[in-house]
Amino acid sequence: MTAPDDPDPAAAAAELASLAAEIARHNALYHAQDAPEISDADYDALVRRNAELEAAFPDLVRADSPSRLIGAAPSGHLAKVAHARPMLSLDNAFSDEEVAEFVARVRRFLSLPESEPVALTAEPKIDGLSCSLRYEEGVLVQALTRGDGQTGENVTANVATIGDIPQRIEDAPAVFEIRGEVYMDKADFAALNARLLAEAVDPEKARQFANPRNAAAGSLRQKDAAITAARPLRFLAHGWGEASAVPGDTQAAVMAAIAGWGVPVSDRLTRVDDVADALAQYRAIEAARADLPFDIDGVVYKLDRLDWQRRLGQVGRAPRWAIAHKFPAQKAQTTLRAIDIQVGRTGKLTPVARLEPVTVGGVVVTNATLHNADEIGRLNVWPGDRVILQRAGDVIPQIVENLSRDEARGAWPFPAACPECGSAAEREIGEVDIRCTGGLICPAQRVERLRHFASRHALDIEGLGITNVESFFRDGLIQSPADIFRLTKETLLARERWAEVSAGNLIDAIDAKRAPPLDRFLFALGIRHVGEITARDLARRYVSMRGLAVMIRHALAIRRRTAPAPAETDRKFEIRRQKAVVAALDTPGIGPEVAEAILDFAAEAHNRAVVFDLLRQVAPQDVVHETRASPVTGKTVVFTGRLETLSRDEAKAQADALGAKVASAVSGKTDLVVVGADAGAKRRKAEELGITVIDEAGWADIVARAH
């Protein structure tokens, strides 16, 4: 393990906080919205940095550390349910040696003599999302996604629409949870994207999934199961969770029993006798990969004997008795035709590699990201070079090697000026990105911001996609977001290709967005680092535009007034100031980087003018904390004792959602006391006062019945 660059604990704490927020954001983009913004490799780099810092500063490991989570916490809209047994993850092996080492570890752990064979099962690792199907008395009663491994989302209704999954199984134990992968075939994925495009009112805004895995996740995790029903999802079992009885002594036998119940199991699942056999199976599956109807990203080996599996147990969140042998990323050779520079909404200049078209893993690739100037330097790439391209189930292909490397040429000269507006392009201290300094005089940034403002996750103005935004901007019709709301039907009709109906539709679509939800409004402003999650956190915390404005004025004053103390180093001062700023924003999930970005935006007079102008046209809606009608709405509830199925925070959140107030002490004002294990004084007091006392199951019942 390499030592972290920065040995200062305060800086490490700040970095860990921002990594936690950043990783959580990417988890949400990947798992909850199925819209990843960064490649798996970049994501892994963040996780690695987090692990590095945590290893160097064990005292600084946060309660919300990404290292404690598997995947992402479940998204907001489906009900969360605790798994009867945690859903585990897998450790990875990337080479034959690592597979041999895995088996050697198993032997050491079990003290097996060399003469004792260690049989494994080998099966494809399907690139889908894992799901746990709970059968009671042979009837499918619940289906949960993995979620964070401890708690998943209830997708029972959605799973009922998947043809591969039987509603009933014969001769199964009283309780049996079948676990496996929900996935989409490659051909079905392509057809789905084509259908979504064909059906879209505005093709520019058509929902398109990046890969079959995202399509499967997005299709399964729908509040409306009718949408899931219209999506071609499939299922393959790969294991089990809680079981009142296990039908066999080996992995292979139990999987055969599951197949016997009519639940699909991979037809490539085989039993292998040793490492050599396992590796032969790996090569066979790898050779068949391209011809399989679905995406796989490796081979999973599991110890066949279940008594050994039980003895081995797990370490962290992964079993010691299984490992995923991953396939190397798919690669191809091609020629770099040109390096184009794109200017983003925040002025970031991103170099994009234009490539001679080439097929990598079944997909024709013509562009690859080069990330930033450092990456160009690292690869020493120049237009005309032969390069090796890699696609690793990723969204964006990467150039991993330059075959024409020639250090004598030096680095390709990254433009010193913005290609769109000619303003200086500069790198901020400590940053890798180079940005256009033109701000809102840069047409590319302005168009990007306007496009972002109207885009699907922001104000979602139907019919105002990139083409219209660009042409309206070019002709001076819209310069800032407020101008959108000043467009009239007459102005549109005076333009080519606009008619009564189309002009009327666009004006109606714009008018429909004059009272946007506060979080969408904030996200639409395009403040650097303020993504959907941060916008939602801010909106929830401050409820109204007025509440936010008061907080921001206060935070700006604090930032201005924080001055260096005598003999304080720059770094210490910077950390103290950042802490003060974060405290002033006082919003869970918002760390120094985001807090500073919000204040930088607000400190800029031009931005304030844009926002005030906009607020003359639109009135963001205050956040109404949604409550569900229930017998406890408006009542005061006290939780006491140790809750078994819920954390205190979850119990509080549930009470909030039902419109109940949570108090810590029992008094005459208390309406209901929920007691967990070992409840003492509060329970007695409640009984003395004649207050209703219920147990955890009673509370769960109230929650389940609320609507």
**Minimum distance of ligand IVH from residue 125's CB (angstroms):** 4
DSSP-assigned states of every residue in 582-614: HHHH--TT--HHHHHHHHHHHH-HHHHHHHHHH
Residues sharing a CB contact under 8 Å with residue 300, sequence separation 6 or more, in sequence order: 90, 122, 123, 124, 125, 238, 322, 323, 324, 325
Mapped onto helix, strand or coil, the DSSP state of residue 178 is strand
**Minimum distance of ligand IVH from residue 287's CB (angstroms):** 18
Site for ligand IVH contains 323 (CB under 6 A): no
**Minimum distance of ligand IVH from residue 658's CB (angstroms):** 33
**Minimum distance of ligand IVH from residue 103's CB (angstroms):** 17
Residue nearest ligand IVH (C-beta atom)? 130
CA–CA distance, 345 with 523 (Å, rounded to integer): 13
Do you know the residue count of the chain?
Answer: 707
Residues 70, 314 contacting (CB under 8 angstroms):
no
By CB under 6 A, which span of 168-176, 317-325, 420-428, 437-445 interacts with ligand IVH? 317-325
Q: Which of residues 377-396 bind ligand IVH (CB under 6 A)?
A: none
Q: Which is closer to ligand IVH, CB of 25 or CB of 238?
A: 238
CA–CA distance, 202 with 194 (Å, rounded to integer): 14
Taking alpha carbons only, the member of 631, 625, 627 closest to residue 672 is 631
By CB under 6 A, which span of 305-313, 319-327, 356-364, 453-461 interacts with ligand IVH? 319-327
Site for ligand IVH contains 25 (CB under 6 A): no
**Looking at the DSSP assignment, which residues form a beta bridge with residue 686?**
none
Site for ligand IVH contains 88 (CB under 6 A): yes
Site for ligand IVH contains 258 (CB under 6 A): no
Site for ligand IVH contains 89 (CB under 6 A): yes
By CB under 6 A, which span of 8-16, 119-127, 488-496, 673-681 interacts with ligand IVH? 119-127
Q: Which is closer to ligand IVH, CB of 121 or CB of 228?
A: 121
Q: Which is closer to ligand IVH, CB of 15 or CB of 304?
A: 304
- Reported as half-sphere exposure (CB side, CA atoms, 13 A), residue 645 has a value of 15
Site for ligand IVH contains 263 (CB under 6 A): no
**Minimum distance of ligand IVH from residue 126's CB (angstroms):** 4
Q: Which is closer to ligand IVH, CB of 70 or CB of 387?
A: 70
**Minimum distance of ligand IVH from residue 299's CB (angstroms):** 8
By CB under 6 A, which span of 118-126, 242-250, 446-454, 558-566 interacts with ligand IVH? 118-126
Tokens representing residue 269 in the block: 């699942």
Taking alpha carbons only, the member of 342, 273, 312 closest to residue 120 is 273
Q: Which is closer to ligand IVH, CB of 219 or CB of 578?
A: 219
CA–CA distance, 63 with 16 (Å, rounded to integer): 11
Determine whether 326 is an active site residue. Answer: no
- Reported as half-sphere exposure (CB side, CA atoms, 13 A), residue 411 has a value of 11
* Other Cβ atoms within 10 Å of 375 Cβ, number: 16
CA–CA distance, 551 with 559 (Å, rounded to integer): 12
Q: Which of 18, 27, 33, 130 binds ligand IVH (CB under 6 A)?
A: 130
**Minimum distance of ligand IVH from residue 304's CB (angstroms):** 14
**Strands of 92-93's sheet, edge to edge?**
92-93, 322-326, 296-303, 120-126, 270-272
3-state secondary structure 330-379: EEEEEEEEEEEEEECCCCEEEEEEEEEEEEECCEEEEEEECCCHHHHHHH
Q: Which of 196, 324, 388, 700 binds ligand IVH (CB under 6 A)?
A: 324
Residues 213, 149 contacting (CB under 8 angstroms):
no
Taking alpha carbons only, the member of 84, 241, 220, 76 closest to residue 160 is 220
Give the contact letters, 267-306, x = binds to ligand IVH (CB under 6 A), - = no: ---------------------------------x------
Q: Which of 90, 530, 581, 646 binds ligand IVH (CB under 6 A)?
A: 90
Site for ligand IVH contains 125 (CB under 6 A): yes
**Minimum distance of ligand IVH from residue 127's CB (angstroms):** 7
Helical H segments across 366-424, by residue range = 373-379
Q: Given the residues 125, 205, 302, 326, select the one marked as catalytic.
A: 125
Residues sharing a CB contact under 8 Å with residue 533, sequence separation 6 or more, in sequence order: 24, 25, 28, 589
By CB under 6 A, which span of 24-32, 224-232, 318-326, 418-426 interacts with ligand IVH? 318-326
**Minimum distance of ligand IVH from residue 93's CB (angstroms):** 12
Site for ligand IVH contains 326 (CB under 6 A): no
CA–CA distance, 330 with 607 (Å, rounded to integer): 45
**Total of residues contacting ligand IVH (CB under 6 A):** 14
Q: Which is closer to ligand IVH, CB of 130 or CB of 636?
A: 130
CA–CA distance, 325 with 120 (Å, rounded to integer): 13
Q: Which is closer to ligand IVH, CB of 322 or CB of 551?
A: 322
Q: Which of residues 679-698 bind ligand IVH (CB under 6 A)?
A: none
Mapped onto helix, strand or coil, the DSSP state of residue 180 is strand
**Minimum distance of ligand IVH from residue 686's CB (angstroms):** 43
Q: Which of 81, 93, 322, 503 binds ligand IVH (CB under 6 A)?
A: 322
Site for ligand IVH contains 319 (CB under 6 A): yes
Q: Which is closer to ligand IVH, CB of 300 or CB of 594?
A: 300
Helical H segments across 137-274, by residue range = 156-159, 186-199, 212-220, 225-229, 251-260
Instruction: Using the structure block, give the residue that is written with the tokens 């392509």.
Output: 190
Q: Which is closer to ligand IVH, CB of 179 or CB of 449?
A: 179
Q: Which is closer to ligand IVH, CB of 180 or CB of 526?
A: 180
CA–CA distance, 15 with 671 (Å, rounded to integer): 44
**Minimum distance of ligand IVH from residue 525's CB (angstroms):** 38
Site for ligand IVH contains 145 (CB under 6 A): no
Q: Which of 181, 295, 304, 593 binds ligand IVH (CB under 6 A)?
A: 181
| Cα–Cα distance list, 163 to 215, 228, 233, 236, 668 (Å) | 17, 11, 8, 12, 55
Q: Could you give the residue numbers annotated as active site?
A: 125
Binding positions for ligand IVH, rule: CB under 6 A: 88-90, 123, 125-126, 130, 181, 238-239, 300, 319, 322, 324
